[in-house]
Amino acid sequence: MGLRFGRIAVIGAVMAGLLSGCGIQQRLGFNKAAPEITLPYRSKLSKGAEARQFSVKVEAKGADIDAVRESVRHPATGYCLLTYGGSDIAWDTDSSGEWRATRLDDGDMIFSGVCTAR
């Protein structure tokens, strides 16, 4: 029984190796995930002075806050989720509750927030 199981295991391993090179993984849906929609603006997250603080710089080229919001939210959510286990964020806001952005001379914007997940 042990010899038979060993042969089956070897044959299975060889078949898996052969099938991995012929595109069967992609046809079965085991390929790398690709985003359905790409974000419209490039962004880069930087850690802040305090552990949970961060800032996100967006190459906005003069766009308004609503246009860049998802490009800001995406890296921030990923950072908080992977680092602190939750995606809750307290964004730096103005008196109306709108996200506060620092606009740079080149049209880019910087947003700040704090990961609030426990």
Question: What is the reported pLDDT for 117?
Answer: 83
77 pLDDT higher than 80: yes
Distance CA 34, CA 21 (A): 20
Rg (alpha carbons) of the chain, rounded to whole number: 23
For residue 101, what pLDDT is reported?
94
pLDDT surpasses 60 at 80:
yes
Condensed to tens digits (0 to 9), the pLDDT of residues 8-67 reads 767 766 666 655 556 655 666 666 666 667 788 999 999 999 989 999 999 988 888 889
DSSP 29: T
Give the pLDDT band (50/70/90) at residue 118: confident
Which residues make Cβ contacts (< 8 Å) with residue 114, sequence separation at least 6?
48, 50, 52, 53, 54, 89, 90
pLDDT, residue 17, reads 60
Q: Residue 22: what pLDDT?
A: 61
- Write the DSSP symbol of residue 28: H
